[in-house]
């Protein structure tokens, strides 16, 4: 990682992911902003290196379309939780969780 991630940020990201309720999702960018990280990819790095015990399926790209290689498995897990999905895309407007302190894109849409 080019930008140093502190242990405090790692633990904050982990706590935020654990707090996402079943049936809801957040984006990598939502988590990065809430944890004071400079790049959503840093959240992906945390999940890859320290996220085996977390509900990883609830963290999704801003497009709402899960990425390979676990896309199908992620969609299956999310469907089982009741997350609305249409044409392989998570309907973020209907299931995006709010994180403490995060001003989420789309919050101010009519």
Q: Domain spans of the chain?
A: 7-95
Q: Per the structure block, which two tokens stand in for 109?
A: 């849409």
Residues 37-90: tens digit of each pLDDT? 999 999 999 999 999 999 999 999 999 999 888 899 999 999 999 999 999 999
* pTM score: 0.86
Look at residue 100 and tell me whether its pLDDT is greater than 50. yes
Give domain 7-95's CATH architecture: Orthogonal Bundle (1.10)
State the pLDDT at residue 53.
Answer: 96
Residues 43 and 13: their CA atoms lie apart, in Å, by 7
Residues 8 and 3: their CA atoms lie apart, in Å, by 14
Look at residue 19 and tell me whether its pLDDT is greater than 60. yes
């Amino acid at each position: 990682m080019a930008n140093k991630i502190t242990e405090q940020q790692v633990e904050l990201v982990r706590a935020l992911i654990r707090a996402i309720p079943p049936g809801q999702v957040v984006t990598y960018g939502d988590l990065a902003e809430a944890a004071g990280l400079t790049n959503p990819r840093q959240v992906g790095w945390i999940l890859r290196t320290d996220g085996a015990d977390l509900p990883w399926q609830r963290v999704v790209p801003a497009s709402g379309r899960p990425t390979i290689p676990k896309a199908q498995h992620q969609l299956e897990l999310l469907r089982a939780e009741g997350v609305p999905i249409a044409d392989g895309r998570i309907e973020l407007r209907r299931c995006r969780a709010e994180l403490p302190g995060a001003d989420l894109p789309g919050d101010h849409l009519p």
